[in-house]
Amino acid sequence: MNDIKKHICPTCGGTLIVNVERQMYECPFCGVTFDYDYFREENVLGIAAQALKNKEFSSAGKAYDFLLEKEPNNFEALRGKALIAMDITKIDGIKNIDLFSKLNYKNACEEIDRAIESSKPQDREYFTTMKDIVDAGHEYIEEKDMLEDQRNERVKSISHLSELKNNR
């Protein structure tokens, strides 16, 4: 019996008992009940965070999806899904400008937009700022690529003019 994890009532601090018939945890002290998934969600969030840290994006994504099915505005799960879409393990990764040259911009925007739409009002600014950073990084890479193309064209033109001059 020592293998069974005891759960503590978040309301009164009492030890919960299992009601197998109702498939619920019950507090014999204050009468509050919890379904089994209430405590499983805490474990899933930890599992998802560890999978994300280990760059196991598929596993982390499935765990975050499970959480979002039950609580569509769960900040940690929404943030985790956005990080996965950007192929980074923590928000600090967004500082790396190299991220944006290999970023699937459409996929990242879709996930961040989902987070903005689904999040609680107090969390929307976080995801809106994330979207602004991704947009700015994407625009930077597009401008950089355009300038590089123009530079290459200029080099070709100069080379061609030099060739014409030498042939004259």
Residue 7 structure tokens: 């759960």
Choose the weakest-confidence range: 23-27, 38-42, 138-142: 38-42
Is the pLDDT at 132 greater than 70? The verdict is: yes
Rounded to two decimals, what is the model's pTM?
0.68
Locate 17 and state its tokens: 């008992």
| Helix segments in 19-104, DSSP class H | 36-53, 57-70, 75-85, 99-102
CA distance 99 to 86: 8
Q: By mean pLDDT, which of 8-12, 97-101, 125-129, 144-148 is the weakest?
A: 8-12
- Which tokens hold the place of 117? 């739409």
72 HSE (CA, 13 A, CB side): 4
pLDDT at 68: 92
Residues present in the chain in total: 168
Residue 2 confidence (pLDDT) above 50: no
Tell which wins on pLDDT, 25 or 52. 52
